[in-house]
Amino acid sequence: MSEPKRIDVADVLRGFAIMGIFLIHTIEHFNFYSFPEVENEWLKFTDKAIWDSVFFVFSGKAYGIFALLFGFSFFIQDNNRMQKGSDFRPRFAWRLVLLFLWGNINAMFFTGEILVFFSIMGFVLLFVCRLSNKVVFIIATILMLQPFEWYKLISALMNPEYVAGESMVGYYFGEAYKVQMNGTFLETVKMNLGVGQMANFSYAWEYGRVFQTASLFMFGMLVGRTGLFLNTEDNLKFWKKAFVISILCFFPLSGLVNLIPQFIEKGPVLSSLKIILNPLANLMFMVFIVSLIINLYYTTKFHTILGKLAPYGMMSLTAYVTQSIVGSFLFYNWGLGLHDKLSITFSFLLGIVLFLLQYSFACWWMKRHKHGPLEYIWRKATWIGAKN
């Protein structure tokens, strides 16, 4: 199958996102929140500083960029097929089925994987991809504003006796923790494919990820339609405005998230407000990061430096799945069980080393091949039976 010319800055952004996801997962011990006791005061300081810094820069933002680019990639493939007079939608549905399989392979190792969730949420694009830009933008905006949480918030404000449904996130992750701590490899696989997935989907529903992800998929598709990743004068003006507006919006939103617990005591009201505001704050910081990278890539000498992330971004599926396998082996009981031996600081340093190893492999591989190993298999399987 022939392909359109790649937009390099999208690969740079994807590389940045997958790097951020890796670093977060490493200091989290891949959703296994078990850490050694730290007595050294300097190490306590660096643990706290690294944890807060990594989460501030990447938490919710790297995921958001990844979701945005998922929608963007769909547009590129869909548009390419439309220009050739064919409909990509049936093939994309099949591609999502394949992603579901990749996700379950990944889920065997890692409780917090997102590919299964993406493969299900991706079907949303099939329902909106022939709608006008204006309609898609309105739908995406409504979803980003968390309509279900607004319903819960209004219900809680109008009814003093309103009680939100019981959260299951803590239960499922608690059950996962037991197996991460003591389970064999087969027990870990069984848990991850059952309880682990329930934990994942419960978190996605209860913390607004369902609406947020669908919204970001649509916004990514709109970025593709409007050509905003292309190096044009108008686009650069847009991203410079986005850079300023996003950072001006982020601080008030982030401040509100931290401030409202001091003034609101009612649990359901507080919970809904945080779920409404926090994704918006993350969205603003994500736009800030994206606009910063685009402006630096197209207008400064950082073009060469940032461009080095492109090979890593082109192998995002391979990188993501192998991260899960390595992380599970390093921290879970079935592997080396380093969860209670490596503090946050040393986990972060290990994450940097592992990222550099992955990055070096990606650079070596992409000099010799057009696609990453898993990307090649996914692409071949996507177009199986295609005539042209």
DSSP secondary structure string for all residues of 370-384: SS-HHHHHHHHHHTT
Other beta carbons less than 10 A from residue 109's beta carbon: 25
The first and second tokens of residue 250, run together, are 């982020």
Residue 58 and residue 60: Cα distance in Å, rounded? 6
**Is 111 in contact with 200 (CB distance < 8 Å)?**
yes
Residue 102 and residue 212: Cα distance in Å, rounded? 22
Residues in the chain: 388
Classify residue 6 by its DSSP letter.
P
The one-digit pLDDT tens for each residue of the chain (388 residues) are 444 567 899 999 999 999 999 999 999 999 999 999 999 999 999 999 999 999 999 999 999 999 999 999 999 999 999 998 999 999 999 999 999 999 999 999 998 899 999 999 999 999 999 999 999 999 999 999 999 999 999 988 888 777 777 789 989 999 999 999 999 999 999 999 999 999 999 999 999 999 999 999 999 999 999 999 999 999 999 999 999 999 999 999 999 998 998 888 778 888 899 999 999 999 999 999 999 999 999 998 899 999 999 999 999 999 999 999 999 999 999 999 999 999 999 999 999 999 999 999 999 999 999 999 999 999 999 999 876 5
136 exposure class (CB count in 10 Å sphere: 0-12, 13-18, 19+): buried
Q: Which of 44, 13, 47 has the alpha carbon at shortest distance from 349?
A: 47
Predicted model pTM: 0.94
Q: Is 305 helix (H, G, I), strand (E, B) or coil?
A: helix
Task: Spell out where the chain has E strands.
Answer: none
Q: pLDDT value at position 250?
A: 96
In our burial notation (b when 16+ CB lie closer than 10 A, e otherwise), range 333-355 reads bbbebbbeebbbbbbbebbeebb
CA angle 248/252/256 to nearest 5° reads 160
Residue appearing with tokens 């996507």? 382
Classify residue 5 by its DSSP letter.
P
Other beta carbons less than 10 A from residue 48's beta carbon: 13
The first and second tokens of residue 18, run together, are 């997958």
First to last CA, the chain: 6
- Helix, strand, coil share of the chain (percent; to 5): 75, 0, 25
What is the sign of the dihedral through the CA atoms of 267, 269, 270 and 274?
positive
Q: Which of 54, 53, 125 has the alpha carbon at shortest distance from 89?
A: 125
Classify residue 4 by its DSSP letter.
P
Residue 36 and residue 41: Cα distance in Å, rounded? 14
